[in-house]
Structure 1
Amino acid sequence: MSSPERTELLVLPGVLTADQAAHTIRGLLAVQRSDGAIPWFRGHHLDPWDHTEAAMALDVAGEHEAAERAYDWLGRHQNDDGSWYAAYQDGDAGDVTDRGRESNFVAYVAVGVWHHYLSTGDEAFLDRMWPTVRSAVEWVLGLQQPGGQIGWKRETDGTPVDDALLTGSSSIHHALGCALAIADAVESPQPDWELALGALGHAIRRHPERFLDKNRYSMDWYYPVLGGALRGTEAKDRIEADWEKFVVPGLGVRCVVPNPWVTGGESAELALALWAMGESDRALTILQDIQHLRDSRTGLYWTGYVFEDRAVWPEELTTWTAGSVLLAVAALGGDDATCQVFGGELLPSGVEPDCCV
């Protein structure tokens, strides 16, 4: 169970008290199934990306056994080719409801595994999960395009979709850095991954034309920062350029413009990106602004809020929204594992190509 020390780490003025943090942790644990799976909410589906984000939140709360069960679930359900399906229905059977396979969903296991290792120091866990991470990364890199960007999925029949999404590729950039850190820790160098990471980072930084135009979505705005492809002045310039476009003062971050809809997950992830840029004050403000999404009954968070209608929508208390809030709070609170994973300074950066490809 989470210790008082871990709960105190999640105390943040205007965001969480110790009792509220403990309540949110209990809310996450109540949704996790006995087999380790963490669906969006009971009765809904699980996807590997959001499942992992919620598992990381369990680790920051000190619920390491519960987090490990979540990663073991991934290990048991990985396809022979290294991938996972896009969605699994909640329930004892865990039936697949979307047989597409999305590259950023598959890659994110590396972020979670590295975070769990840094949280626990469990070398046996890292050794056990290394084959899972390795095969997942190899599957993802099978979708990398000559320009460095990553095709976003394979269709249900296995047909690759070469079009790349900036959000997805930025998340994969983060995952590749974590995967290389794992490879170093288990003494299994992966020079091809270093080249792939360098080419991907170059594409994100220098070639926006290689990605589908989704600039209406806030994730495309902040994910190059959150995923570590942009740092320093480049990161600050990107965030400043569209701040007023996406941030609604006092309410949070729009999911997509011009819709009058703020969402908790995007807001908390932006707070993580701001923290990584060294702007903790603005990160704190964003987290304070979304506390209107907190549900006092469960300790979880509503997915979003339509502010023109003054209405919660959809009426879903999603584990990944609560997970992203806890991760952002943990970073601001100085949790070492979370800071290492999202700060990025200690992650491998890859080998950038000498010229454009």
Structure 2
Amino acid sequence: MTGAWIASVQEPSGAIPWFPGGPSDVWNHVEAAMGLDVSGFHAEAAAAYRWLARVRNSDGSWYAEYRAGEVTDPAKDSNFVAYIAVGVLHHALACRDTEFLTELWPTVRAAIDFVLGLRSSDGAVRWRDSSPIFLITGCSSIHQALLCAAAIAARVGSPRPDWLTAARELGSAIRDRPDVFEAKPHSMDWYYPVLCGVVTGSAADERLSAQWDRFVVPGLGVRCVSDQPWVTGGETAELALTLALRGDSRAAQLLADISHLRHADGSHWTGYQFANQVVWPEERTTWTAGAVLLATAALRDDPSTHGAFKPLSLVLQRKPRYPIE
């Protein structure tokens, strides 16, 4: 039902706005498209990626926001641009479609080359083309995207070891140079380095434990920011996805905790302000639905979801656990 709701919001062009008539941005568009794939709406997901291929800029980027086919924010966010690699790999894994990788390869290659053009000497990547700021969440997402892009490159016969080097240097910057990144109170900065494979093993356990009580509200979900009584479906589902990928049983409970955000049509409210006991904002978003579907898929050990969020295994193994050939 949730996947069908996302498909109902998708525009004829293939674009997936936040909600009917709302804005579209590339990152959330891809998150929703991955939700379509794990729900079996493969043709709709393919249309979403082909829309990106059609509207990309000549430098490989996309603008930060579109609405009804028009550009409404001309900035270029690095993590938005990079995320297509995650979605394209996820779709190919879901459909076992190597030809799709070949079709989208020029778009993925151009996107990653644009992103790496915003890289600093220590490996961190600027938030956007017009800003000197570095963000932990954005760079963590780019780390995952670089590994997915390298997996795609290997499968289309154009290996890019330099992308693996860039991912390694970016990961080191996130782990070892926290002073480089803008300090923010958002829960994403807490769990994204784990979700995106930057922090692993016992260090990941320690990172998640250290701020669990700061962000997780038992029975309600995950705070978007630490200083506000506001839990959000997207952040809760992403933390659940993080845990599910690690085999942590707390993932199922987190998804159960946001059942209060689920609408009868399968969509999900963006968030809940629990001090005033009101849904806020009054919108149901496709990217929230996509995150819930991905977390649910990870709990079911869905190969495409585990492959896209553990891309290093696809790069390093001679016979990947999740083959697409």
- Could you tell me which residue of structure 2 aligns to residue 300 of structure 1? 267
Under a length normalisation based on structure 1, what TM-score does the superposition of the two structures give?
Answer: 0.87
Aligned to 1:230: 199
The structural deviation recorded for 1:193 is 1.2
CA contact (8 A) 2:150 2:161 kept: no
* Contact 1:101–1:153 (8 Å) recurs in 2: yes
Q: Please show how residues 31-50 of structure 1 align to structure 2 within 5 Å.
A: 31-50=9-28
Conservation of the 8 A alpha-carbon contact between 1:232 and 1:277: no
Q: 2:58 is matched with which residue?
A: 80
CA deviations on 1:188-242 (whole Å, 9 max, x unpaired) are: 011221211110011112111111111x110000000011111110111000000
Residue identity opposite 1:105 in structure 2: F
Q: Which runs of 4+ in 1 moved over 4 A?
A: none
In the aligned structure 1, how far is the partner of 2:71 from the partner of 2:312?
37
Structure 2 stretches lacking a partner, 5+ long: 317-325
- The whole-number CA distance in structure 2 between the counterparts of 1:25 and 1:187 is 33
Match in the other structure for 1:289: 257
- The equivalent residue for 2:76 is 101
Answer yes or no: is 1:170 the counterpart of 2:170. no
CA apart distance, 1:102:
0.2
Q: 2:237–2:292: 8 Å Cα contact kept in structure 1?
A: yes
Q: How many residues align?
A: 316
Counterpart Cα distance in 1 of 2:239 and 2:2 = 20
My pick for the range that moved more, 23-32 or 300-309, is 23-32
Residue 15 of structure 2: SS of its match in structure 1? coil
Q: Hey, what's the Cα distance between the residues in 2 that align with 1:163 and 1:258? A: 22
Q: Which amino acid is 1:31 matched to?
A: V
**Structure 1 unaligned runs (5+)?**
1-22, 156-160, 350-357
Question: Counterpart of 2:34 in 1: which secondary structure?
Answer: helix
Alignment of 1:1-357 (within 5 A): 23-89=1-67, 91=68, 94-155=69-130, 161-214=131-184, 216-279=185-248, 281-296=249-264, 298-344=265-311, 346-348=313-315
| SS of match in other structure, 2:281 | coil
Q: What SS does the aligned partner of 2:313 have?
A: coil
Equivalent AA in structure 2 for residue 183 of structure 1: A
After TM superposition, give the deviation of residue 348 of structure 1 in Å: 3.8
The CA distance in 1 between the partners of 2:98 and 2:241, in whole Å, is: 27
Tell me the alpha carbon deviations over residues 225-282 of structure 1, each in whole angstroms, 9 at most, x when there is no partner. 0111111101110000000000000000000011000000000000111122321x10
What CA deviation, in whole Å up to 9, does each residue of 1:303-356 have, x standing for no partner? 00000000000001000000000000001011111111123451448xxxxxxx
Q: What CA distance in whole angstroms lies between the structure 1 residues aligned with 2:4 and 2:162? A: 42
Aligned mates of 1:101, 1:345 — CA distance in 2: 27
Counterpart Cα distance in 1 of 2:187 and 2:25: 21
SS in 2 for 1:154: coil
% same residue: 55
Q: Is the 8 A contact 2:245 2:299 kept in 1?
A: no
